Chains A and B, each alone.
Chain A
Amino acid sequence: MAETKPVLMQGNEACAEGAISAGVRFYAGYPITPSTEIAEHMAARLPDLGGVFIQMEDEIASMAAVIGASIGGMRTLTATSGPGFSLKQENLGYAIMAEIPCVVVNVQRMGPSTGVPTAPAQGDVMQARWGTHGDHPIIVFSPASVYETFYLTIAAVNLSQKLRQPVIMLLDEVIGHMREKVMIPEAGKLLVEKSSDNIPADWKPYDEKGLTPLVPFGFGHYYHVTGLFHDQYGFPTGDPTQVERALDRIHGKLEKYRDEIVLTNYIGHKEPRVVIITYGCTVRSARAVVKKAYWQNRLPVGLLSLQTIWPFPGKEVAAIAKQADVIIVPEMNMGQIVGEVERYACGNAEVVPLNRYDGEMMSPDQISELLGRWL
């Protein structure tokens, strides 16, 4: 691990710096609150690193430009918020289908529609999962701190490259905008997992034998990239066998590397009666509660925080449900991830939603009040 030093850093800035540390040298974006600081930071930093910053004409173009640059061999990032995330969905699906790596940041704001641009909410959880059409796989990280934002962005870039799969950083406005003391490596230290340099002579862009690294355009491999269902050379096909195989392929790689993708963290009692399951900034409130209830008062309470929300950590939730009587799911929406928790709890524990959707952050008091019902 590279040398670290304490600095004060904003969440959005940490996202940009994490991307830079992971080798991202191309950013295309469009201004939107509350994600704009990421673009501004990239605009200031990338030129000095020989990278490309470009402000595109709209959100759709930003997503397209990022995919184009990835095909050119650059590590890429774009950032947006709700309305822009909606506009990016079609090309996000393209990147999934064509297996082009890229990282898309959505600093969530209160919606639907223009909503409250500066207010925090976690309303895009399902959009991040199912926003683009078709039966597609997706990876979504949800950091709970500036520190996690930095390191999860690095993980997002590296996973994206390795799996040739777009990864979404789903930030909360609270996390994106707050400044916090973090220990991170000195600027410029690279934390890149290099993809393979060995390109076999019979390289195929979508080799049916499994994952192959992306050979950028311009190196003599005359393959085809399309959003249509395609064969292992990238050429369009409507053949049912090949169509099915192509869909299995893009889902299968996430299943194969599931344990590298799915990140969770449990703190609290070894045999908990009540467990809080949450993600993003809500983890902060929940941790304040659990620290007091368990560390100070030794109550049978635990917290499972989800750094990865998609693919959903079903295995982890199922294990919790077998131990606990009650699972509380605080979210800053009207109930999105709670449905998944219920699905994996299989009736082994009572699943109780706790929702806040007034544009304010969930407070520890709200959680402890509910927790008090069982303790």
Chain B
Amino acid sequence: MEQLTQDYLRTKKLPHIWCPGCGNGIVTAALVRAIERTGYDQSEVVIVSGIGCSSRAAGYLNFNTLHTTHGRALAFATGLKMARPELKLFVIMGDGDCSAIGGNHFIHAARRNIDLNAVIINNHIYGMTGGQHSPLTPTGMKATTAPGGTLERAFDLLELARGAGATFGARGNAAQPRQLEQLILRAANHKGFSVLEALSPCPIAYGRRNKLGGAVEMLREMKDSAVSMEKASGMEPEELEGKTLSGVIFSTEAPEFSEEYYRSIGKA
């Protein structure tokens, strides 16, 4: 573990900027362990991120790291992957970054089935700007821009990805970091556009306003409400109310875009 920290984290850049109780560090650690297990050479790994709390992770990771503009991480990554298909790209985004301002790029990356690993840290809120609702904020939950609770409905990010053509979708959470690590590894090993939704607590901008308790309570609730796909298949719809599906939600195969492109021009 210590070696991993030395190799893959920019220890001089620590401590990180995240608040006490934030789950971003847990997800980032799971990502580092998963990358280690892929056996990729450090020099072939690229971390791309958007804008927001979670996207700051790129700065702490000792790879080639690209901290882009808000919502556009997948579009930058698409260009890089097409230019250098041999590179292994992990694209870290927040829920607002990915599904609001970056929603168009998200569905089109899925449609192309380009071999990028999207890691969306979903804390249901815009944290960096102090707690505004995102397209992944559940209906009724409060935010500074929805003081009475948001009237809007939330996306199911993985169903959105599946509908748009992504070939791998999985959900984990910060309360179960070993499973998260395993899921990121599976996403990395999947050829095509893979989407990993990592649920993560934001006690400061989301939990406090919605009276969800502190980080410990939020993590406990995450763990308790997570239901594996296998378990869910044997449950009644009423029993599944309020639960969150976790694990690999879907995994299929389809032609991968960068490979298809280079084959089409006779270079693969």
Contact = CB atoms under 8 A, between A and B. Distances in A.
**Direct contact between the two chains A and B in their complex (CB within 8 A):** yes
Interface of A: 26, 28, 47-48, 50, 52, 54, 56-58, 60-62, 64-74, 76, 90-91, 94, 216-228, 235-236
B244 interface: no
B84 A225 contact: no
A52 B72 contact: no
Interface in B21-76: 42-44, 46, 48, 58-59, 62-69, 72, 75-76
Contacts of A94: 68-69
Interface stretch (B123-131, B149-157, B227-235, B259-267): B259-267
Contacts of A61: 72, 75, 78, 104-105, 108
A68 B79 contact: yes
Contacts, number: 130
16 contacts: A26-B79, A26-B83, A28-B79, A54-B261, A57-B104, A58-B104, A61-B104, A61-B105, A71-B66, A217-B46, A224-B65, A225-B67, A226-B58, A227-B69, A235-B59, A236-B67
Interface of B: 10, 13, 42-44, 46, 48, 58-59, 62-69, 72, 75-84, 86-87, 104-105, 108, 261, 264-265, 267
A236 B267 CA distance: 38
A236 B59 contact: yes
Contact of A67 (B43, B62, B67, B76): B76
A217 B84 contact: yes
A178 B62 CA distance: 50
Contacts of A58: 104
Contacts of B104: 57-58, 61
A62 B82 CA distance: 13
Contacts of A222: 42-43, 62-65
A132 B43 CA distance: 33
A60 B65 contact: no
B82 A54 contact: yes
A218 B76 contact: no
B265 A64 contact: no
A64 B67 contact: no
